[in-house]
Amino acid sequence: MLTPCSLFSQSPPPPPSISKFISDQPCLTMLQNHCTTLKHFHMIYPHIIKTGLTHNPIASTRVLTFCASPSGNINYAYKLFARMPNPNLYSWNTIIRAFSRSSTPQFAISLFVDMLYSQIQPQHLTYPSVFKAYAQLSAGDYGSQLHGMVVKLGLQRDQFIHNTIIYMYANSGLLSEAKRVFDEKLELGDVVAFNSMIMGFAKCGEIDEARKLFDEMFTRTSVTWNSMISGYVRNGKLMEALELFHKMQLEERVEPSEFTMVSLLNACAHLGALQHGKWVHDYIKRNDFELNVIVLTAIIDMYCKCGSVENAIQVFDTYPGRGLSCWNSIIIGLAMNGHEREAFEFFSELELSKFKPDSVSFIGVLTACKHLGAVDKAKDYFALMMNEYKIEPSIKHYTCMVEVLGQAAFLEEAEELIQGMPIKPDAIIWGSLLSSCRKHGNVQRAKRAAQRVYELNPSDASGYVLMSNVYAASNKFEEAVEQRVLMKENLTEKEPGCSSIELYGEVHEFLAGGRLHPKTQEIYHLLNDSSFSLQD
């Protein structure tokens, strides 16, 4: 694609004659009245360029508008724009807006800079697209310069500009700046501004602040509910996400979107709430939601994480519109649920499909090798990834290999692999080796691995706990206690274990040593009852 800098470096073709436009009138009529799809456009675009119709203001505007739309082609739009000898304000705004919502929003900013040096100066409709581009890049610190320009021009009172400034700061994690602009909001209860702040707070982990704003709103849109629900999921408050969805359905009667469904499926997956997940899946089918790749992947992932592999495979086999992410989800799901050989079979089918395995696919089969203890097979997949598919191993792939080797007691080879890696080892990979040393009682190698964990992540308690267990398993109880003391001295705390169980459609969550469950007394009484047997 052409680079949107030095826009006028190309010499445009000489303008065609009037007779040329007259002879091409059928093409212009088709362009104006019948060009509705990219396929139609491909049929007439070569003729447009060849005959110089880009110099016809009506034709060039029509083509640019179409190509810059979501159903168009941004590359064609830019090529056309670069051929315009004197693009007007509408053309500038159209191409900047198109890039601001594309996968390359930085080009919108580059074009805006070019616009400042052109004969056409930006107006109030130009700035929201540029602020959105900064938001997409999470570059609010750079966008603050544009904010200053807007204030100098006296345009900060424009509602659209004001809201996109809030969105830029919030999406960039600059919450204090976003809140300052938000507090200057021009209209009380502006839904767009509230939505941006809720999204920003949730993204930065301040979910209680997000809920506070949510509760203050007089009017909520589907975007508001989606932002709050996905924020709960992102911050691990999964039960709150499900409760809010039920409130959305029963009290507000707001129609959920595809985005809502994916967030709920992710919540069910993390909770292992199979019945809730089935209900969401049924809801999607009953309400004719589009089963695109994102939704299908979320459904498959939910069933796999809830342990219902049969349902996951059924969904995978039923819908032909699956993408690579669906393949990866089913391979990893099978590997995690003890169906290693089926995971290998799906990987082989993937290789024969129209898709090629990517780095995630290989994490799936390497995970299967770990659970199966298949060291040689893991080495074969690792070599296949690098040699056949030219995929550079990431730290995750190396961690999988260390886990495979450690599981099979090849601790020396695992340590050598870490030390010979072309990338810097992290605390996770050393922790994997430490865990394997604990399993196989290798104290000396465990001490080396633990030291690396302490250095790379001193606030993580897992290294101290694992090393304490290594010493305890070797009857070195003084050293085991010493590790626990060191953990407290370094002010590190182990996160309490958490588990959940779904019973009659209700999810019950438990913390290790916790007593907050409403039926805690009955549970402990039952556990302490000597006459009670699990077989009962």
Start-end of H helices in 137-174: 140-153, 159-171
Superfamily of domain covering 394-495: Tetratricopeptide repeat domain (1.25.40.10)
Q: What is the 3-state secondary structure (H, E, C) of 29-76?
A: HHHHHCCCCHHHHHHHHHHHHHHCHHHCHHHHHHHHHHHCCCCCCHHH
The one-digit pLDDT tens for each residue of the chain (536 residues) are 334 443 333 333 333 333 333 344 455 555 555 555 666 666 666 666 666 665 666 666 777 777 777 766 788 788 888 888 888 899 999 999 999 988 899 999 999 999 999 999 999 999 999 999 999 999 999 999 999 999 999 998 899 999 999 999 999 999 999 999 998 876 655 899 999 999 999 999 999 999 999 998 888 888 899 899 989 988 888 888 888 988 888 777 777 888 889 988 988 898 888 988 998 999 899 988 888 999 999 999 999 999 999 999 999 999 887 899 999 999 999 999 999 999 999 999 999 999 999 999 999 999 999 999 899 999 999 999 999 999 999 999 999 999 999 989 999 999 999 999 999 999 999 989 988 988 888 888 888 888 888 888 877 777 777 778 777 777 777 777 777 777 776 655 545 555 555 554 455 555 555 555 566 666 666 666 555 444 44
Burial of 144 by CB count in 10 Å (0-12 exposed, 13-18 middle, 19+ buried)?
Answer: middle
Torsion of CA 146, 148, 151, 156, to 10 degrees: 50
Cβ atoms of residues 175 and 204 within 8 Å? yes
CA separation for the pair 211, 202 (Å, rounded):
9
User: Which residue is it, tokens 């953990």?
Assistant: 487
| Cα–Cα distance measured from residue 112 to residue 24, given in angstroms and rounded to the nearest whole number | 33
Please count the other Cβ atoms lying within 10 Å of the Cβ belonging to residue 156. Answer: 17
- Residue given tokens 């519109």 in the structure block: 321
pLDDT of residue 534: 45
For the chain, domain boundaries? 220-296, 323-392, 394-495, 499-528
Across-strand partners of 489?
none
251 pairs with which residues across the strands? none
C-alpha 80/C-alpha 82 separation (Å) is: 5
pLDDT value at residue 344: 97
CA-CA distance, 378 to 405, in Å (whole number)?
Answer: 9
Residue 380 φ/ψ, nearest 5 degrees: -65, -45
> Bridge partners of 502?
507
Identify the pLDDT of residue 525. 63
Query: What confidence score (pLDDT) does residue 48 get?
Result: 64
Long-range CB pairs of 401-404 (<8 Å, 24+ gap) are: 401/366, 402/429, 402/432, 402/433, 402/436, 403/370, 403/432, 403/436, 404/366, 404/369, 404/370, 404/373, 404/374, 404/375, 404/378
What is the pLDDT, as a whole number, of residue 78?
Answer: 86
Give the dihedral sign, CA 514/516/521/526: negative
Tell which residue, 266, 191, 180, has the closest CA to residue 225. 191
The candidate with the shortest Cα–Cα distance to 223, out of 256, 190, 263, is 256
User: What angle separates helix 191-203 from helix 207-216, to the nearest 10 degrees?
Assistant: 160
Q: What was the pLDDT predicted at 495?
A: 52
